[in-house]
Copies of this chain bind each other. A is one copy, B any other.
Amino acid sequence: MRSSQVTIKDLAKQLGISPSTVSRALKDHPDISEETKKAVKELAQQLKYQPNAVALSLKHSRSHTIGVIIPEIVHYFFSQVISGIEDVAYDAGFTVIICQSNEMFDREVSNAKALLSHRVDGILVSISKETSDFEHLRNVEDGNIPMVFFDRVCPEIEADAVIIDDYQAAYDATQHLIEQGCKRIAHFAGPLNLIIGRKRKEGFIQALKDYNIPVYEDLIVEADSFETGHQTVKQLFKGPDRPDSLFAVNDLTAIGAIQAIHELGLKIPDDVAVTGFSDGRFSNIVNPKLTSVDQHGYEMGKTATEILLKRIMEDQREYTPETRVLKGNLIVRNSSVKKS
């Protein structure tokens, strides 16, 4: 016997009235007598009636559900985003379906399909590192499902987006290192097919240029995980003209790097100043505490969801996509401040 959940029919039968009356009574329709309302509501409570959201979705072609496609929730930043999403959605009476792509393109495609199939009212997306074909997202567009990107946006699709100013934040972080007297600054970059990877690199380079510091191409390496951060330091920092500082594309990479730097017998920040990006739970916990950029995950999730819900409500086919840019705040801690 499948779930024995109570339906409106059950209530109607027990009360000897019609289902439509029950339906109306439950929503306080003015036509219904107080007496009937009371009887219906009491029985509903007693039998623990829960409206069938599935039937409602079908009826109204509105699921009051939004879908989220997110790379990996293990990352503090993304889990913060989800909290922002859930809080807003929850207050608006929306349910959230979260799908992890695990940074895999195929998984992301299935995720999109599943969400379309579930007839979500809107979708929030942050694309995976692997994604460079956007057919699956175009399907969402074509299906007229509102879609808002966050953090990792898609270059080829015109849609709302919430990002931080990665360029400026990277610029700020680099400038900060320069102001500490650093001259040979390494950058561990993110995947350059992602806009965030490119923007952070550009901000880095521009800061160097503005301060007339030569840009050494071999000090710019793609490395965006604890392991690659660690390995890359071991190669890049062993020679005599090693970098005197490092700007890493995220905190975990910075921390992998920090460990390797320690293993090489170098001191942070005096031998090597280090800056991360994202300001996760780690930044305050490692030794030395890590200078990083606060990416405002919670706010990003909140904002993206607010925009999405607005789109869902206004429900017009044509609109001008809006890109909301949050400011990334550089938070200076011990890993980058040279004693002078």
Contact = CB atoms under 8 A, between A and B. Distances in A.
A100 B3 CA distance: 24
Interface string A247-261: 000001001000100
A143 to B, nearest CB: 5
A58 B55 contact: yes
Interface stretch (A31-39, A90-98, A170-178, A328-336): A90-98
A67 to B, nearest CB: 9
A96 B97 contact: yes
A100 B83 contact: yes
A218 interface: no
A251 to B, nearest CB: 10
Contact of A98 (B2, B80, B96): B96
B54 A58 contact: yes
A73 B82 contact: yes
Contact of A117 (B1, B52, B58, B113): B52
Nearest to A255: B285
Contacts of A121: 3
Contact of A95 (B1, B86, B97, B286): B97
Nearest to A297: B74
A238 interface: no
A114 B86 contact: no
Contacts of A100: 82-83, 86
Most buried by B among A3, A4, A50, A82: A3
A33 B127 CA distance: 41
A316 B121 CA distance: 34
A310 interface: no
Given A4-B143, A50-B113, A119-B52, A74 B63 contact: no
A296 to B, nearest CB: 15
A286 B262 CA distance: 13
A118 interface: yes
A76 interface: yes
A145 B3 contact: yes
A142 B48 CA distance: 10
B54 A4 contact: no
A54 B52 contact: no
A135 to B, nearest CB: 10
Interface string A1-17: 11111000000000000
B79 A119 contact: no
Given A54-B63, A282-B282, A285-B255, A116 B5 contact: yes
A139 B86 contact: no
Given A2-B144, A74-B80, 6 more contacts: A3-B143, A4-B143, A52-B117, A73-B73, A74-B281, A82-B100
